[in-house]
């Protein structure tokens, strides 16, 4: 037994030494905080760590998926309300994924911009330290037990911040407030994404609406009251608009009002934006994002319940 244990310990020691050597040799500093299976979320996590003071001081927080990351101009919100604003959104993040953030406190205004892609279960797989961590030990632990994914994400991150990527859907170079708006000109549009009907693709039904509202109620329990919660529903390409779908969004608004009456729901699904403002069926380019954000700001200002803080 002793000989066996010695052999095992020696083997594991040598293997571990080689593993540590490989990690240190190959570890790339491409702005990833390796806390999930999503490269966008990991880049956002690294961005938070790097700009922690700005994040911590922000009183308006934009959350959500790429609907918020690419379609909301957080700097414009900040300038308009004269309140520090931070865009926390990243690809594929669902409302439930933001429960881990300590943003649900008195005095904050949370803005979630959404579309039909934001229903359903999250596919984010969280690692230790989610949603972001300063701990090198945790980072090393996550990297050591998923090195292949880490390397793959490091390469993706490198591409995502390259200047040419602003004309592609991979763009993840955040501006000072965390938004990542797409280029207005010469964008490499995908025909598949351009023509995909989001309502049909995501199979929207009453069950999904109800599940979303249930998650909203769980989120509202996080920290009693005192924070403003604003949900906006952005438009897709006009070709996909129908009255029936508008009714679905109105039904969502009714459900939210019935269960969470203090949430401000801004229904902009019928806001007619020209195709020149889009890069695919639901994502805006910079001009589109700026135009849409202006609309949201006006709606927020028009609602007297929402207080913004200087």
Partner 1 sequence: MLFNSIEFLVFLPVVFLLYWFVFSRSLRLQNLLVLSASYFFYGWWSINFLGLLILSTCLDYLYGFGVVSTNKRRARLFLWLSIVNNLGILAVFKYYNFFAIQFQNGFERLGMHFDPILLNFALPIGISFYTFHGMSYVFDIYRKQQQPVSNFIDYAVFVSFFPLLVAGPIERASHLLPQIQEKRRFNYAQAVEGCRLILWGLFKKVVVADSLSEIVDSSFRNYQEDNAFSLIVGAISFSFQIYGDFSGYSDIAIGTAKLFGFELLSNFKFPYFSRDIAEFWRRWHISLSSWFRDYLYIPLGGSRNGKLKAVRNTFIIFLVSGFWHGASWNFIIWGGIHAMAFMPLLLLNRNRKYSADVVAKNNTLPTAKEFGQMLTTFSFVTLAWIFFRANDGVRLAFGYLGQIGKSVIQDPGQFLTAPKGWIAVLYIIPLLFGDWWLRRDERSLLKWGWPVNLVLGLLVWYHFGGNNSFIYFQF
> Which residue ranges make up the site for partner 1 (CB under 8 A)?
1, 3-4, 7-8, 11, 14-15, 18-19, 22, 37, 125, 145-150
In three-state form (DSSP H/G/I as H, E/B as E, the rest C), the secondary structure along the chain is CHHHHHHHHHHHHHHHHHHHHHHHHHCCCCCCCCCECCHHHHHHHHHHHHCHHHHHHCCEEEECCHHHHCCCCHHHHHHHHCCCEEECCCCCCCHHHHHHCCCCCCCCEEEEEECHHHCCCCCCCECCCCCCCCCHHHHHHHHHCCHHHHHHHHHHHHHHCCHHHHHCCCCCCCCCCCCCCECCCCCCCCHHHHHCCHHHHCCCCHHHHHHHHHHHHHHHCCCCCCCEEEEEECCCCHHHCCHHHHHHHHHHHHHHHHHCCCCEEEECCCCCCCHHHECCCCCEEHHHHHHHHHHHHHHHHHCCCCCCCC
Number of other residues whose CB lies within 10 A of the CB of residue 55: 20
Of 145 and 201, which CB lies nearer to partner 1 in the complex structure? 145
Min dist CB 219 to partner 1, Å, is 26
- In the complex, what is the shortest distance from the CB of residue 12 to partner 1, in angstroms, rounded to a whole number? 9
CB of 129 to partner 1, least distance (A): 15
Q: Which is nearer to partner 1, 15 or 239 (CB)?
A: 15
Residue 118 makes CB contacts below 8 A (sequence gap 6+) with 64, 65, 67, 94, 95, 212
Residue with smaller CB distance to partner 1, 8 or 200: 8
**Residue 4 or 24 with smaller CB distance to partner 1:** 4
In this complex, which beta carbon is closest to partner 1, that of residue 37 or of residue 287? 37
Question: Closest approach of Cβ 206 to partner 1, in Å?
Answer: 17
Separation CA 138–CA 212 (nearest Å): 32
Instruction: Rank residues 19 and 246 by Cβ distance to partner 1 and give the closer one.
Output: 19
Beta carbon of residue 78, minimum distance to partner 1 (angstroms, whole number): 38
Cross-strand pairs, 256? none
Q: Which is nearer to partner 1, 145 or 309 (CB)?
A: 145
Q: Which is nearer to partner 1, 41 or 149 (CB)?
A: 149
Q: Which residues on adjacent β-strands are paired with residue 240?
A: none
Smallest distance from partner 1 to CB 200, Å: 19
Between 106 and 148, name the residue whose CB sits nearer to partner 1: 148
Distances (CA, A) of 206 to 179, 241, 251, 252: 31, 18, 9, 9
User: Least distance from C-beta 69 to partner 1, angstroms?
Assistant: 24
CB of 24 to partner 1, least distance (A): 15
Question: What is the nearest approach in angstroms of partner 1 to the Cβ of residue 137?
Answer: 15
């Amino acid at each position: 037994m002793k000989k066996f244990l010695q052999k095992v310990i020696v083997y594991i020691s040598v293997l571990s030494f080689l593993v540590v050597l490989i990690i240190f040799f190959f570890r790339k500093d491409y702005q990833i905080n390796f806390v999930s299976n999503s490269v966008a979320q990991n880049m956002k996590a690294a961005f938070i760590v790097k700009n922690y003071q700005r994040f911590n001081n922000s009183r308006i927080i934009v959350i959500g998926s790429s609907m918020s990351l690419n379609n909301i101009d957080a700097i414009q919100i900040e300038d308009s309300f004269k309140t520090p604003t931070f865009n926390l959104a990243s690809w594929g993040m669902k409302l439930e994924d933001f429960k881990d953030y300590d943003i649900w406190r008195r005095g904050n205004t949370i803005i979630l911009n959404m579309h039909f892609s934001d229903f359903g279960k999250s596919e984010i797989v969280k690692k230790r330290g989610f949603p972001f961590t300063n701990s090198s030990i945790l980072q090393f632990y996550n990297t050591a037990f998923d090195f292949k994914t880490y390397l793959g994400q490091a390469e993706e991150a490198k591409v995502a911040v390259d200047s040419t990527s602003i004309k592609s859907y991979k763009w993840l170079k955040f501006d000072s407030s965390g938004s990542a708006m797409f280029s207005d000109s010469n964008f490499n549009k995908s025909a598949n994404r351009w023509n995909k009907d989001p309502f049909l693709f995501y199979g929207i039904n009453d069950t999904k609406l109800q599940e979303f509202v249930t998650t909203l109620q769980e989120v509202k329990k996080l920290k009693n009251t005192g924070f403003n919660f604003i949900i906006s529903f952005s438009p897709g390409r006009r070709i996909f608009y129908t009255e029936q779908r508008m009714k679905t969004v109105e039904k969502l608004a009714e459900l939210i009002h019935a269960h969470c009456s203090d949430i401000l729901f801004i229904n902009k699904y019928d806001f007619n934006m020209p195709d020149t403002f889009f890069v695919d069926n639901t994502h805006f380019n910079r001009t589109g994002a700026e135009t849409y954000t202006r609309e949201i700001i006006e709606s927020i200002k028009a609602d007297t319940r929402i207080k913004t803080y200087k």
